Amino acid sequence: MNQSDSAPPPTVFVVDDDEAMRNSLRWLIESVGLPVECHESAESFLDSYYPGRSGCLLLDVRMPGMSGLELQEYLRRNEINIPVIIITGHGDVPMSVRAMKEGAIDFIEKPFNDELLLDAIRNALAVNEKQRAKQALRAELAARMATLTPREHEVMEMVTAGKSNKEIASALGVSAKTVEAHRAKVMDKMQAGSLAELVRMSMLVQE
């Protein structure tokens, strides 16, 4: 949770094989005070990127070597969650659609409208922030769940599945009183204020 304090600021990663394009994007994006990191190829980007760095990725679809789409696919396979904005030349619409299907959050056509581009970047950064917060929460909940005993774990699963105390008691072959006690323990360990909250937590962890 204290990661956000020491973590590097969200960075805009630009991957484009055209040097002028990279330099001009850096020039434009830096004008709103965002740090920019440029890479001339997908490979170079992967070499320097480590998961967990916050930011967004501005990606040219057409590149020699690994193409934009291939990089996108690689990121997805390796569960690297970084919002991708596709840069596309005029007339590359079919390819852009494919990229969107692969999970890109936006696509921008060259030449750029600077407002649109910067809005898209801001939007992507916000998405990234949200994703990262959600991920942090999930990790926290998983940590809390790890403190549960196996019996408490079973009780929690059943409770969140909507079973009543009686049903749980008969299923586990214990008294309702015991179930009650486990349930209180679970609520306490998971720091859930209500049953509804516990259900939400369990859903979040299972996602």
Partner 1 sequence: MREPHRPLFKQLLRRVPMPVLAAFFGLLTAAAVWIVIDPIQTRAIGNIFREELRAQLETRARESMLRFDSFVQSYINTARLLANHRRMADYLEPLVWFSADEDPPRVYREEQPLWLPAPAIQGLPVQPDYAILADTGGKIREIYQLARRPLPQETEPELKHAITNAGQQAAYMTRLSGSLYLVIAERVEDASYYHMGSLVLLVPVNSRFLDASQQRAPDSEITVALVDGDAQVILVASGNDPLLKGAPMTSIRDRYVATVQSFFEYGNTPLNLLFATLIPRDLVDATRSRIIAVERRHRLTGAAIVGLIFVLLFILVSNRINRLLERVADFSSRALHIEQPAPRGGNRLLIMEDWIRSFTQAVMRAREEMREHYTAEIEEREALKTAVLDASLDPIVTIDQYGRIVDFNPTAEQVFGYRQEEASGRKLDELIFDRGSRQAFNSLLADSQREQGESGQPVLRTLTARSKEGRILPVEVAIKPVRLENQLLFTTYIRDISERQRQAREIESLAAFPAESPMPVLRINRPGVVIYANRASDPLLEYWGCGRMQTVPIYWKRVVEEVLNGGRSREVEVTTHDGIYSLLLAPVPDLDYVNVYGRDITAVRRAEEEARHRQNELIHVSRLSTMGEMATGIAHELNQPLSAIVNFANGCARRLRLGIGEKEELIAAMEQIAAQARRAGEIIKRLRSMVARKQPVREEVDLNLLVSDACALLSHERKRLGVAVESRLSPAPVVARVDPVQIEQVILNLLRNALDALEGREMESRRLIVSTGITSEGQAYIEVQDNGTGISPEDLKHLFDPFFTTKKSGMGMGLSISQTIVTEHNGRISARSVPGRGAIFTVELPLSESAMESRVS
For partner 1, give the closer residue by CB, 110 or 130: 110
Query: What minimum distance in Å lies between the beta carbon of 88 and partner 1?
Result: 10
For partner 1, give the closer residue by CB, 17 or 167: 17
Question: How far apart are the C-alpha atoms of 45 and 23, rounded to whole Å?
Answer: 16
Query: What minimum distance in Å lies between the beta carbon of 9 and partner 1?
Result: 18
Query: What minimum distance in Å lies between the beta carbon of 30 and partner 1?
Result: 7
Query: What minimum distance in Å lies between the beta carbon of 117 and partner 1?
Result: 8
3-class DSSP string for the chain: CCHHHHCCCCEEEEECCCHHHHHHHHHHHHCCCCCEEEECCHHHHHHHCCCCCCEEEEEECCCCCCCHHHHHHHHHHCCCCCCEEEEECCCCHHHHHHHHHCCCCEEEECCCCHHHHHHHHHHHHHHHHHHHHHHHHHHHHHHHHHCCCHHHHHHHHHHHCCCCHHHHHHHHCCCHHHHHHHHHHHHHHCCCCCHHHHHHHHHHHHC
For partner 1, give the closer residue by CB, 14 or 192: 14
For partner 1, give the closer residue by CB, 25 or 86: 25
Residues that bind partner 1 (CB under 8 A): 17-18, 20-21, 23-25, 27-28, 30-32, 62-65, 67, 89-91, 110-112, 114
Query: What minimum distance in Å lies between the beta carbon of 105 and partner 1?
Result: 21
For partner 1, give the closer residue by CB, 32 or 203: 32
